[in-house]
């Protein structure tokens, strides 16, 4: 039984998230339907990250098993044909060993959060950024971000409904930068808690607009209480950029 690894990009605006749900179309379901139509089989597609409704991906990774082998080019192009009109694209397909697991074999995930920071609302980037009109100080945001890097208890930065067994995660990178009118938050770790990146973005924006001092983020972290951190930033600014494997 061959196992295949795919790299996928998608616009999450019209999906209920990555994972199959009863209340609407998910990215996982769209892929599984496309593969069923292409192969005549019913593969289960397992993703590296369970992105929420409205969250995008430029480099989501998933795997699935088939009863019979298919040429890689046919899997890629045929899947993309059957995915229409959904805004989901299979970029790459490769055959992997049976021990490969898109979720559990991953050693690093990289997300980017985009904030459009100007007075005028977006036209071309609408649905891809968090529009924030008040000026943001990215230097102060970076000073606050530095307090979150490393191994910490991120209870204050996870959704109340998060089902992770432990709130302890190791944040390998948290960088705030500005490119023109956009403030970018790039974050890397092996894994994340539910809404961790969006809560981090919402908290850093409090610092950027001057409502909080950078040290207030450290205080929120030590509080180990969701109420101590900032708001959860909107989903549309978040994108899963890349998943790395050994």
Q: E strands along the chain, which residues?
A: 3-10, 46-47, 56-65, 88-96, 108-116, 130-131, 150-153, 168-179, 182-189, 238-244
Report, as residue numbers or ranges, the catalytic residues. Answer: 52
Q: What is the pLDDT of residue 82?
A: 98
> Tell me, what's the pLDDT at 146?
98
Structural domain spans, the chain: 3-96, 110-239
Q: Which residues in the chain land under pLDDT 70? A: none
Residue 143 has a pLDDT of: 98
Q: For the structural domain made of 110-239, what CATH number should be given?
A: 3.30.70.660
- Residue 91 near residue 77, CB atoms below 8 Å: no
Query: What local confidence, expressed as pLDDT, does residue 95 receive?
Result: 98
What is the per-residue pLDDT for 186?
Answer: 98
Nearest to 239 by CA among 55, 100, 50, 39: 55
Q: What is the pLDDT of residue 89?
A: 98
Q: Is 8 helix (H, G, I), strand (E, B) or coil?
A: strand
Distance (Å, whole) CA 95 – CA 5: 6
Output the pLDDT for position 176. 98
pLDDT value of residue 159 = 96
pLDDT of residue 107: 98
Pick the CATH number of 3-96 from 3.40.1710.10, 3.30.70.580, 3.40.50.970, 3.40.50.300: 3.30.70.580
pLDDT of the residue at 6 = 98
pLDDT recorded at residue 49: 92
What torsion do the CA atoms of 215, 221, 224, 229 make, to the nearest 10 degrees?
A: 80
| The Cα angle at residue 202 between residues 117 and 106, in degrees rounded to 5 | 105
Query: What is the three-class DSSP state of 236?
Result: helix
The answer to whether 89 touches 6, Cβ cutoff 8 Å, is no
Q: Tell which phi-psi region holds residue 69, choosing left (phi > 0), alpha (psi between -120 and 50) or beta.
A: beta
pLDDT value of residue 70: 94
**DSSP alpha helix (H) spans, the chain:** 27-39, 72-83, 138-145, 196-208, 214-223
Angle, helices 27-39/72-83, rounded to nearest 10 degrees: 120
**Burial classification of residue 149, based on how many CB atoms lie within 10 Å of its CB (0-12 exposed, 13-18 middle, 19 or more buried):** middle
């Amino acid at each position: 039984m061959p196992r295949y690894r795919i790299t996928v990009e998608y616009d999450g605006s019209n999906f209920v998230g990555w994972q199959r749900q009863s209340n609407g179309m998910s990215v996982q379901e769209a892929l599984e339907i496309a593969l069923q139509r292409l192969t005549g089989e019913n593969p289960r597609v397992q993703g590296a990250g369970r992105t929420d409704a409205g969250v995008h991906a430029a480099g989501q990774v998933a795997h699935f098993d088939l009863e019979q082998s298919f040429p890689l080019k046919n899997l890629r192009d045929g899947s993309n044909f059957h995915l229409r009109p959904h805004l989901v694209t299979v970029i790459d397909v490769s055959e992997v060993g049976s021990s490969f697991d898109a979720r559990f074999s991953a050693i690093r995930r990289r997300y980017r959060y985009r904030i459009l920071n100007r007075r005028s609302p977006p036209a071309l980037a609408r649905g891809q950024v968090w529009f924030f009109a008040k000026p943001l100080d990215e230097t102060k945001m970076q000073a606050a971000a530095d307090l979150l890097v490393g191994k910490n208890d991120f209870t204050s930065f996870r959704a109340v409904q998060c089902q992770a067994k432990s709130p302890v995660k190791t944040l390998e990178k948290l960088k705030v930068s500005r490119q023109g009118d956009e403030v970018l938050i790039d974050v890397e770790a092996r894994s994340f808690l539910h809404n961790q990146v969006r809560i981090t973005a919402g908290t850093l924006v409090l610092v950027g607009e001057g409502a909080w001092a950078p040290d207030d983020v450290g205080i929120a972290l030590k509080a180990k209480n969701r109420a101590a951190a900032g708001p959860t930033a909107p989903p549309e600014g978040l994108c899963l950029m890349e998943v790395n494997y050994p």
